[in-house]
Amino acid sequence: MHGRHCARRGRQRSEGPLTGRCEHCEWYAIERSHAAMVKSYQDHLREEHPDAWVRA
Ligand SMILES: [Zn+2]
């Protein structure tokens, strides 16, 4: 009846900065949201890896 002492440990940081890495080079970015991360990565691909960007 007293087994809920660990309930708070299941809470992950859901609003912390996200780190995204490029699979083609050493580029990475830190954004606050997944949407921002996707946009940054798409911009990077378009500029640095146009071939990969076209296929994505
Ligand atoms: Zn890259």
Instruction: Provide the residue range defining the domain that includes 48.
Output: 16-55
Total domains in the chain come to 1
Centroid of ligand 1 to alpha carbon of 47 (angstroms): 9
22 C-alpha to center of ligand 1: Å? 5
Report the C-alpha gap between 56 and 52 in whole angstroms. 6
For residue 31, the CA-to-ligand 1 centroid distance in Å is 16
Per-residue model confidence as pLDDT tens digits over 39-52? 999 999 999 999 98
Query: 42: number of CA atoms within 13 Å, CB side?
Result: 8
Going from the Cα of 3 to the center of ligand 1, the distance in angstroms, rounded, reads: 47
* Predicted confidence (pLDDT) per residue in 8-30, tens digit: 555 555 667 899 999 999 999 99
More confident call, 32 vs 9? 32
* Residue 51 resides in a domain: yes
Instruction: Give a yes or no: residue 5 inside a domain.
Output: no
Kindly state whether residue 6 falls inside one of the protein's structural domains.
no
Spacing, Cα 49 to ligand 1 middle (Å): 6
pTM, rounded to two decimals: 0.65
Q: Is residue 9 part of a domain?
A: no
Asked if the structure places residue 23 within a domain, the reply is yes
